[in-house]
Structure 1
Amino acid sequence: MMGDYKYLFKILVLGDSGVGKSCLLMRFSDGRFTGKYLCTVGVDFKVRTVEVAGQVVKLQIWDTAGEERFRSVLPAYYRGAHGVLLVYDTTSASTFRSLGGWLKEIRRRCPDRVNVFLAGNKCDDLVGRQVSQQQATHYADHRELPFRE
């Protein structure tokens, strides 16, 4: 599948700092996981080619810095996005509370209604969980967002 592709999609991975955006991207693009936290400075970029319904699809996945001090560089990366993976940390209620701000920013920066998918990360940490799956499902349903943990 390294050859030609039928479709090309630009996907942004957004969310607060430390929610696990880079780990999700590394797992998806390289098939590996690291528990080490390294702050993304600006934007990281990965490409993965997949087959969907017999069609070759190339995904450009943009891993963005969640820290406030790096958000000024983000607007340029919103342009041309086909989708957004909006990530929060199930062990951090504050990252869940900030989803509204991220959604406003997405709607403001992506005038063509871009598809947004809500993802709860770190759901394997049952002891540290601060956001229930029921809360997140309600939030996603109310905003008509697909959601998974």
Structure 2
Amino acid sequence: MSTPRLREAARVIVLDGDDRVLLLRYEENGGFWAVPGGSLEPGETHLDAAHRELHEELGVIDMKVGPELAVRTKDHPVGGETARQVEKYFVAVVDPETVNPAQASQPDDIRAWQWWSLHEMQETAQTIYPLGLAVLITDYLRNGPPATPLELAG
């Protein structure tokens, strides 16, 4: 069995001043919530991609993207073939007023945008990716960024 093609991606954990997390709703694969982000374009760095994706998906311009908190590797179907996606997770704290999905230039298949408290994330029966996101955020809020990015499962 051959190794799936590599697909690098950047994702941003968007927090507000009340430590709520902005999640995006997708309906494929049974429906799930995830943080904004997507694959790198040719010649793009992960931070460049993070900024571009925030503009494309949230209509946000010039958001300060902070440290890398984690990385996740997951094989999943993309365009009919399996890809090995390696995602780097960054964090950004924003004023919710700066998030304007109506200005999103490429909302992809996003069905909803919602701010979630950490408690709501831990109590919901809905699927949120990456798994363990609430724990990652709680650790970051208590201890700051890790010395090296954490490896996330699923």
- Classify the TM-score, shorter chain: 0.3 to 0.5
> TM-score with structure 1 length normalisation?
0.34
Q: Relative contact order: is structure 1 or structure 2 higher (C-alpha 8 Å, sep ≥ 6)? A: 2
Greater fraction of residues in helix? 1
> TM-score with structure 2 length normalisation?
0.33
Greater fraction of residues in strand? 2
